[in-house]
Amino acid sequence: MASHDQSYRAGEVKGQTEERTNQTMENVRDKAQAAKDRTYEAAQQAKDKTSETAQQAKQRAAGTAEAGKQKTQETGQATGEKAEAAKEKTGGILKQTEEKVKDAAQSAADAVKHTFGFGGAGEEEERYGDRDRNTYTKG
């Protein structure tokens, strides 16, 4: 019977060992799956964060580009307005200068005509009125 008891106990120990081995293997599988799940979640969060950061950077870049474009347009418009004002001012100055030069040339021509007696009395009154009649005398 001792041999029967020993066989029985050996079988019982073997069964218990197999049960513990199975439990340990199951625990290892569960822990491995949990670690795999955590790793996947961490990777997904990192991916989402990277995507979000990239989107924010893209939006900031677009905003900066738009602000730069708007500033360039404003500067261009202001420059155009200043150029137009300068053009108008220069045109006015040139017109005034042209008129002064014409008047000076005409006055010089009239003085020469008057000096040599080419201008008639009526022409003198038309051009200068009473103001210059006393200034120029026919000689």
Q: Which burial class, exposed, middle or buried, applies to 136 when counting CB atoms under 10 A from its CB (0-12, 13-18, 19+)?
A: middle
Query: Which helix H or strand E contains 19, and what residues bound it?
Result: helix 2-116
Instruction: Please give the pLDDT value at position 133.
Output: 47
28-32, Cβ contacts within 8 angstroms, sequence gap of 24 or more? none
- Range with the largest mean pLDDT of 1-15, 21-35, 93-107, 112-126: 21-35
**HSE-up (13 A, CA, CB side) for residue 2:** 0
pLDDT mean over 25-29 = 95
pLDDT mean over 20-45 = 95
pLDDT digits (tens, 9 = 90+) for 93-120: 888 888 999 999 999 989 888 888 886 5
